[in-house]
Structure 1
Amino acid sequence: MTTSSSSLSDVTGIIAVITGGGSGLGLFMTRALAANGAKRVYILGRRKNVLEKAVADIGTQNITPVQCDITDQDALKSAVSFIEKDAGYINLLVSNSGISGPSLKIEFTNTFHVNCTAVFYTTIAFLALLDAGNKDQTYQNGRSQVIATSSIGSFKRKITAGFAYGVSKEATTMMMKVLATYLVPYRIRTNVLCPGLFPTDLTTNLIHGTDPTVEGSFPLDQIPAERAGTPEDIRGPLLYLVSRAGAYCNGNCVLTDGGRLSVTPATY
C-alpha cells in the first residue's frame, strides 16, 4: 500500500495547546497547525494583546487565545478548566514558553522556573485532557503527545544567553526523556524540539544584519547552513512529530539548528 506524503504530514482535526503561542517560535507553530487543518489551537500567554494580535494576524477561525501565566499554577488550572469546558480534550500540548537568563542569583532561579519547572507543571495540568484525547480518538495520527521546546543550548558547553539558559534547557530535555518513560502507562508520548538560532524576541541581541535567514549571513564555522532558521525550519519538525510521520517517536530530541552543534563543543 502506498502512502502519499500529504497524508503522512496531515494534522486535520487535531486539538492543540501551545504555550507562548502568540509570538516567536510559538507563533510559527500556531500558524503551522492552524493552516494545516487543526480543529482548534489554544494559544496561552501572559500578554492578552500579543495573543489577540496573533489571532487577528493569522485570520483563521480555529485559534483561541487564553491569557495564562504558566508559572502560576492557579492560572494553569483556570486555563485547563476553560479548555475542558470548551473542547473536552486535547491531542497535543506544546510547552513552548521560555526566557533567556543571565547568571545572577535571582534571575538564575527565575530562568529555571520558566524554562523547566513551569514545563513540568504545565504537563501535569493537562494530563487529564491529553488522556481524554486518547479516549476520544477523533484524531487518528497517533497517541496524545507533549512536545517541549528546549534548545541546542541544552547540549552546548559554550555559554549562550546566560549560564542559566543552557543549564535550564538541559534540565528540560532530560525531564522530557524521563516523562517519556513515566507517561507510558497513560499512553501519552513526549518529545523535544531543540532549535538553534532563529530570529525571535529572545535572540535580538545575538543576530545582526538585515536578514539573518539569508544564506551567507553566518560563517561556516558558526552555522554550517550559513543562516539562521526560518519559520519552515521549525514548522517542518513540528508537523513531523505531530502527524502520522512521527507517530512512532517517543522520547526523541529533534534538532533543527543548521548544523551548529557540529561545530561547537557539545554533549549530544
Structure 2
Amino acid sequence: MSDFLKKPLSLFDIAGEVAIITGASGAFGALASQVLAGAGAKLAIVAGSAKALEDTAAACRELGAEVEAINARPSDEAACEAIISKTVERFGRVDILVVASGKNDVAKITEMAPARFLDVMDANVTQSWLMARAAGKQMLAQGEGGKMVLMSSARGLLGHPAGYTAYCASKAAVDGITRALGCEWGATGITVNAIAPTVFRSPLTAWMFEDTENAQTVRKGFLARVPKGRLGEPQDLAGPLLFLVSKASDFYTGHTLYADGGYTAG
C-alpha cells in the first residue's frame, strides 16, 4: 500500500512551509494569508497599506503563524528582489508564492486614457511576472521545487460589456504567464497555477449580497449564468488555494482553476 493512502490528508500538509503572499491587505490576499496561517505555514505577507497589513498580520498571528510583515508593493524588479531577500533573511527559504496583488479600472475603451490601461496591466501582469521571476530564482537556487499561485479571474476567459477591456486583457495575460511558466519550469519541481474566481463575498462586492432592489436586480441577472445558483463565499477560494500550494497538486501546472460555481462552463 502506498504511504499516502494511509494518511491521504497528508497531501495537503504545508506545516512549516514558507509562503509569500503579496496584496495581503486585499480581500483575497488577506484570506489567503489566514488560510495558510491556519494550515501551519510561516508567512511573509506583503502590502502597501501599513495599517491593513498589520491587521492581516495580527489575524495570522492569532492563528499561530510566524509572520514577517513587509510594507511594500511589488512595483519593480528591486522591490520584488527585496521582498525575497527579507523573507529568506527571516525564514531561510521560499516554498510558496501567492500573488494576490492587483487592481481593476472600469471604463469604456473610448473613455479610458492609455495610461489607465497600462496601469492595470502593470499591476496585474507586470507585477505578477516580476514576483514569479524573483521567487523562481530563489526556488531554483534551492533546488527543491516550489508552488506558485497567481490571481486570475473568470474575466481572463470571458468578456464583459461594462468597460472591462483593461481587466480582461490583464487576466488573460496572467493565464498566459501561468501556462508559459508551467512549461518552462515543469521539470524543476516548481508548479505554477492560477485561481480564477467570479464574484465572491468581499468588502468590494458586499453590496451585491444585500437585499436592496438594485442588488437583487444585479444578482438575479448574474446568477442566471451560475449553475450553482449563488455567489461565491471566501471558503470557496480557500480549498482551491490549499490544493494548489500543497503536494496534492504536484502533477498540476500551467493550469487556471475556475472557482466560479460553473459560470465559465455555460
- Which bracket does the TM-score occupy, shorter chain normalised? 0.7 to 0.9
Q: Mapping of 1:65-214 within 5 angstroms?
A: 65-102=69-106, 103=109, 104=112, 105-135=114-144, 143-159=145-161, 162-184=164-186, 186-203=188-205, 207-209=208-210
1-side partners of 2:203 and 2:81: how far apart? 28
1 CA distance for matches of 2:12 and 2:65? 21
More helix by share: 2
Cα distance in 1, alignment partners of residues 16 and 174 from structure 2: 29
Pair 77,149 (structure 1): closer, same or farther in 2 beyond 3 Å? same
Letter in 1 for 2:228: A
Greater shift in the superposed pair: 177-186 or 149-158: 177-186
> Percent of counterpart pairs with the same letter?
25
- Per-residue displacement from partner, 1:180-199 (whole Å, max 9, x unpaired)? 11123543221111111112
Contact 1:151 1:195 in 2 (8 A): yes
Structure 2 equivalent of residue 257 of structure 1: 260
Deviation at 1:88, TM superposition (A): 2.2
1:229 to partner: Cα distance: 1.3
The 1-side partners of 2:224 and 2:198 are apart by: 14
Structure 1 residue 262, shift from structure 2 partner: 2.8
**Which structure 2 segments of 5+ residues have no match?**
213-218
Moved more, 70-79 or 217-226: 217-226
Paired amino acid for 2:225: Q
> How far 1:158 moved relative to its partner?
2.7
DSSP 3-state at the match of 1:122? helix
Matches within 5 A, 1:29-68: 29-38=32-41, 40-58=42-60, 59=62, 60-68=64-72
Task: Using structure 2 for the length normalisation, give the TM-score.
Answer: 0.85
Label 1:4 to 1:121 Cα distance change in 2 as closer, same or farther (>3 A).
same
Contact 2:153/2:198 (CA < 8 Å) preserved in 1? Answer: yes
Gaps of 5+ in 1: 136-142, 212-216, 264-268
RMSD over aligned Cα, in angstroms?
A: 2.2
- Cα distance change of structure 1 residues 160 and 93 upon mapping to structure 2, 3 Å threshold: farther
- Alpha-carbon distance between aligned partners in 1 of 2:163 and 2:200, rounded to the nearest angstrom: 13
CA-CA distance at 1:121 after TM superposition: 0.8
Q: Does the CA-based 8 Å contact 1:100-1:161 persist in structure 2? A: no
Q: Which amino acid is 1:88 matched to? A: G
Deviations 1:175-216 (A, max 9, x none): 1101111123543221111111112345457x25159xxxxx
Question: Any conservation in 1 of the 2:98–2:148 contact (CA below 8 Å)?
Answer: yes
Task: Judge conservation of contact 2:201–2:209 (CA < 8 Å) in 1.
Answer: no
SS in 1 for 2:52: helix
* Aligned length in residues: 249
Q: TM-score, normalised by structure 1?
A: 0.85
